[in-house]
Each structure stands twice: as C-alpha cells, then as structure tokens.
Amino acid sequence: MKIYTKTGDNGETSLFAGGRVPKHDPRVDAYGTVDELNSLLGVVRAHAIPQQAQDWLEDIQNDLFVIGADLATPLDAQADWLVRLDDQPTLNLEAAIDQMDNDLAPLKAFILPGGTLPAATLHVARTVCRRAERVATQLNDAKDINVAILRYLNRLSDFLFTLARWVNLQAGESETKWSVRPAKTESSQD
C-alpha cells in the first residue's frame, strides 16, 4: 500500500463508506481532532509511566481509532463492516477513574496542570479531548453522530485529568494548588 495516493491534492478526502468531502468539513475536523488526541497519548506512552497507565492508554488509543472510523462514516451509510462505539468503553473509563480515585486525595482546590512530563502532557491531552468533544457536538448539531462518542469523550477528559494526578502521585510529585493572586494596581507596579 502506497502512503500517498494524490487523491486529496485538490482539498478533498474520502469518507469510509464512500463519498468525498472537503478537508475542512466538520466531520473531518472531528475525526482529525480525535486523531490528534490519539497521537498525543502516544507521546505520553513514550515516557516512563506505570504499566497500568500504559495498559489503559493502549486501550484508549484503540477506542479512539474506533471513534475516528465511526465519525468518518455517516450514521445512515451502508457500512455493516464498521464497528461503532458502544457504551462499554465509557464504563471502562469510569471503572479506571474509580480505581485511581481510591489512591488520590480528594480535590479541595483547583490544581495547576503540570508535575512530571507525562502528567503535564496528559493535561494537554485533556484539553485536546475537550476540543474533540466540542467539535463532535457541533458535528452532531449539523449531522447526527453516534451519541456514545459524546459520552465517551466527556468521560475521557475526566479520565485524563485523573490519570495526570495519579501519574504524579506514582512519581512522588506533589500537586500545585491554584491560588488567586490580586491584580496589580498602578501604584503597586512602582
């Protein structure tokens, strides 16, 4: 299989079940953002993180491929070969969040994203996940999509936040609490 096909040279791309759309189509934006998130999780996995985190993230990367294919295929398309996302992966995320929460101190303040490099990267992944969710909800407003995707992306951002905290805990890295700082006035800038 050649990596280049030249079929997208005029700014269009093919959907899984056939048909072509502009590369700026909301459907392409949705699955492209999911692909970006998947790649960012690959960056996290390239670092030293606990094996449990590696396993969770590998499962999630596989889920994100399913989501990408689901988003690339209109709901009314004749695509019996396509695996559509169901709610089990969302339930798996919830179970993992609950497992990590057993180790974590309850949140009593907002925390600043950061800590170890993998944890900080997970916080970036969380924000990309939120963007993917926004793009998917916009797509759903225009063209119905599998709503299990919306539930999954919403839960995934919670998972990524919790995982960042958990990875920091496993590394012995403390969390930095957000503190409101008074705005500088003209007289305090002298």
CATH of domain 20-177: 1.20.1200.10
**What are 101's two structure tokens?**
């929460």
Q: DSSP string of 5-52?
A: -STTTTSEEE-TTS-EEETTSHHHHHHHHHHHHHHHHHHHHTS---HH
Whose CA is closest to 32, among 132, 143, 155? 132
Q: Provide the pLDDT for residue 107.
A: 87
Residues 26/34, Cβ–Cβ less than 8 Å:
no
Average pLDDT, the chain: 88
| Per-residue model confidence as pLDDT tens digits over 31-74 | 899 999 999 999 999 999 999 999 999 999 999 999 999 998 88
Q: Residue ranges of the domains in the chain? A: 20-177
pLDDT tens, position by position, 114-143 = 999 999 999 999 999 999 999 999 999 988
CA distance 142 to 129: 20
What is the per-residue pLDDT for 77? 78
